[in-house]
Amino acid sequence: MSYGTAGSLRSVTLDDVRGAQKMLSGVARATAMEGSRHLSQLVGTPVHLKCENLQRTGSFKLRGAYVRIAGLLPEERAAGVVAASAGNHAQGVALASSLLGVHATVFMPRGAPLPKISATREYGAEVRLHGQVVDETLAAAEEYAAETGAVFIHPFDHPDIIAGQGTVGLEILEQCPEVGTIVVGMGGGGLAAGIAVAVKALRPDVRIVGVQAEGAACYPPSLAAGRPVSVEHPATMADGIKVGRPGLVPFGIVDELVDEVRTVSEDQLSAALLLCLERAKLVVEPAGASPVAALLGGAGAFPGPVVAVLSGGNVDPVLLQRVLRHGMAAQGRYLAVRLRLTDRPGALATLLGVLSTVDANVLDVSHVRTDPRLGLTEAEVELHLETKGPTHCAEVGHALREAGYTVIG
pLDDT at 355: 87
H-helix segments, 149-247: 159-175, 190-202, 219-225
Nearest alpha-carbon partner for 306 in 107, 41, 89: 41
Q: Between β-strands 126-129 and 334-342, what pairing exists: parallel, antiparallel or unpaired?
A: unpaired
Q: CB-based contacts of 160: which residues, under 8 Å, 6+ apart?
A: 1, 20, 64, 67, 68, 71
Distance, in Å, from the CA atom of 111 to the CA atom of 408, rounded to the nearest integer, reads 39
Other beta carbons within 10 Å of 307: 29
Nearest alpha-carbon partner for 292 in 31, 33, 36: 36
CB 306 within 8 A of CB 46: yes
pLDDT at 300: 81
Q: Between β-strands 104-108 and 334-342, what pairing exists: parallel, antiparallel or unpaired?
A: unpaired
pLDDT at 3: 38
Other beta carbons within 10 Å of 300: 9
Reported pTM: 0.83
Distance, in Å, from the CA atom of 338 to the CA atom of 238, rounded to the nearest integer, reads 32
pLDDT at 375: 62
Annotated catalytic sites, by residue? 61, 311
pLDDT at 368: 72
pLDDT at 329: 73
- Counting as low any pLDDT under 50, the low residues of the chain are 1-10
Distance, in Å, from the CA atom of 160 to the CA atom of 162, rounded to the nearest integer, reads 5
Distance of CA 397 to the CA centre of its chain: 35
